[in-house]
Amino acid sequence: MPPDSITNPPSADSLELSASEREALGGAALGWVLKYFNEASAPPVYPTVGAAQLSALVDEALPQDAQPVAAVLEQFAMLASFGRNNGHPRMFGYVQSSGSFAGVAADFLTSAFNQNVTSWRSAPSATAVEHQVIDWMKAMSGFDREAGGILLSGGSLANFAALAVALRASTDVDVNQLGVGALPGKPRIYASAMTHMSIPKAAAMLGIGRDAVHLVPVDAEFRMDVGALRTQIASDRAAGHHPVCVVGNAGEVNTGAIDPLHDIAEVCAEQRVWFHIDGSYGGFAARAPRAAPALAAIGRADSLSLDPHKWLFAPLDAGCLLVRDPRHLKRAFTHGAAYVDVIADRDMSEFAFWDHGPELSRRFRALKIWFILKCHGARAITAAIDDNIAVAQTLAAAIDASPDFERLAPVPLSIVCFRYAPARLRGQRDTLNALNRTLMVDVQREGEAYLSNAMIGDDFALRACIVNYRTTAADMRVLLETIRRVAARTA
Ligand SMILES: Cc1ncc(COP(=O)(O)O)c(C=O)c1O
């Protein structure tokens, strides 16, 4: 066929919007984003909508033909109005951060730039930026400067990858080839009774099994009992078991408790066991004056999970794993295959992220972190974290001073666990549990504030997590007034 008779099939151009269409769609999307940020503090925090109603709103046959982009955007705006407003200053549910505009702008650029950050060869500049960002993560958390690291989707994946690394580092057996059945003894992982669910889940996914996770008891402040840890590891070794790692909390998910990291590091050194710290929530507080002393030993860990989509205010998703000796990352994840062989031309061009983590195709997650840290500076981020802790302490003090509220846990970071407990109901656990369960849902329905919950022993706690640079002490007053108002109505 002569070259000039090769023509485009008629449909090939239809995925290319014209320059003016791109401008119109991009401008409208930006307009929505700007409005969303301008109105971040407007209620409701949570929409009143039923699941069936929402399903009906999105129910539509597969669109075969193009719809006007204005109509598509309008439908998105309607659906967005039925989302939870995570940027709202009184969104206190879970460890859910507000995000930030610099991160959003970077995410837009990330999608447009569409780099596949598998390796230096595939994405030279993005790989360089991720290495830079990993270095900044070490500096912010006080982790070893020589460490290796990788960005992942979140804290759960970082914990999963950390346990995979610790497992390989715990033995000369080639676990990748032979599986965990070839280990010399039953694998054991040690974590506090408050550990995040991602730890037993990781044990299950690694084939070690959830039963392999020994939950070490905690003290009255929900911190790991290090004496019990030491005794357990020694008796497991005597029984022929195979200790894999100890997981310490740098801010556990229920109360924000920080385990005695220095003492755990000592036990791990004595017993030659890998020390992993789950800093998904609290790791970035390491430089915040109100938390720094309790987090000073972070640098002693063999590995550290961080979650930039929490206290670095990055939009979802962005997690991070740091490993003090980078060779252990490679030992766990290198998996030669012909189609991914790196052309060996030395230095950075040989570098491949697939040798350092579970993913092959990877989004350019580093860009939003790079933007946030450059647009605001680490000092401002650290100050915002410290402010969040101060605001949480304000709430704790207000609760302690109120006859109708009761605090259920210490406040080492920015989580406050408490309950509505008027004098006439004090001591009636079942009644208080039922009342506070109802209150949590009713407060969510009101849309003025959003709380989640935790079980503190047998007590149902309302749990306020403050991970938002917009939240102030005034929001704490509104929160307590809202709960009182809803309680009066419930009564
Ligand atoms: C202490 C801790 N670890 C792990 C996780 C899991 O993080 P992600 O939701 O990013 O997977 C969380 C989430 O809140 C957490 O608080």
Query: Residue 156 Cα, ligand 1 centroid: separation in angstroms?
Result: 6
Does residue 281 line the site of ligand 1, with CB under 6 A? Answer: yes
User: Could you give the residue range(s) of every CATH 3.40.640.10 domain in the chain?
Assistant: 106-376
Give the per-residue pLDDT at 13.
Answer: 60
73 with 454: CB under 8 angstroms? no
Give the per-residue pLDDT at 350.
Answer: 80
Among 194, 223, 281, say which to mutate for ligand 1: greatest number of ligand atoms within 8 Å of CB. Answer: 281
Q: Kindly report the CATH number that applies to the domain delimited by 106-376.
A: 3.40.640.10
Each residue's pLDDT tens digit, 299-329: 999 999 999 999 999 999 999 999 999 999 9
Point out the least confidently predicted range of 39-48, 260-269, 401-410: 39-48
Does residue 259 line the site of ligand 1, with CB under 6 A? Answer: no
479 or 15: whose pLDDT is higher? 479
User: Could you give the residue range(s) of every CATH 3.90.1150.170 domain in the chain?
Assistant: 379-490
Residue 280 has pLDDT above 60, yes or no: yes
Does residue 365 line the site of ligand 1, with CB under 6 A? Answer: no
119 with 282: CB under 8 angstroms? no
The residue among 462, 432, 141, 450 whose CA lies nearest residue 279 is 141
Confidence category of residue 338, pLDDT binned at 50, 70, 90: very low
CA count, 13 A, side-chain hemisphere, 244: 29
Each residue's pLDDT tens digit, 14-51: 788 889 989 989 999 999 999 999 999 998 999 988 89
Does residue 198 line the site of ligand 1, with CB under 6 A? Answer: yes
Give the per-residue pLDDT at 43.
Answer: 84
Continuous segment of H or E residues that includes residue 415: strand 415-420
Triad 317, 40, 306: Cα angle to 5°: 25
Among 156, 157, 261, 453, say which to mutate for ligand 1: greatest number of ligand atoms within 8 Å of CB. Answer: 156
Closest residue by CA, ligand 1 atom 16: 253
Does residue 93 line the site of ligand 1, with CB under 6 A? Answer: no
Averaged pLDDT of the chain: 94
Each residue's pLDDT tens digit, 230-253: 999 999 999 999 999 999 999 999
Each residue's pLDDT tens digit, 342-359: 555 556 678 899 999 999
Does residue 252 line the site of ligand 1, with CB under 6 A? Answer: yes
Instruction: Identify the burial level of 156 via C-beta atoms within 10 angstroms of its C-beta, where 0-12 means exposed, 13-18 middle and 19 or more buried.
Output: buried
Mean pLDDT of 209-214: 98
Stated length of the chain: 491
Confidence category of residue 266, pLDDT binned at 50, 70, 90: very high
**For 379-490, which CATH class?**
alpha beta
CA count, 13 A, side-chain hemisphere, 159: 27
Residue 3 has pLDDT above 70, yes or no: no
* Residue 243 CA, distance from chain mean position: 27
Does residue 398 line the site of ligand 1, with CB under 6 A? Answer: no
Each residue's pLDDT tens digit, 131-160: 999 999 999 999 999 999 999 999 999 999
Residue 298 has pLDDT above 90, yes or no: yes
Give the per-residue pLDDT at 366.
Answer: 98
Give the per-residue pLDDT at 255.
Answer: 98
87 with 468: CB under 8 angstroms? yes
Each residue's pLDDT tens digit, 432-459: 999 999 999 999 999 999 999 999 999 9
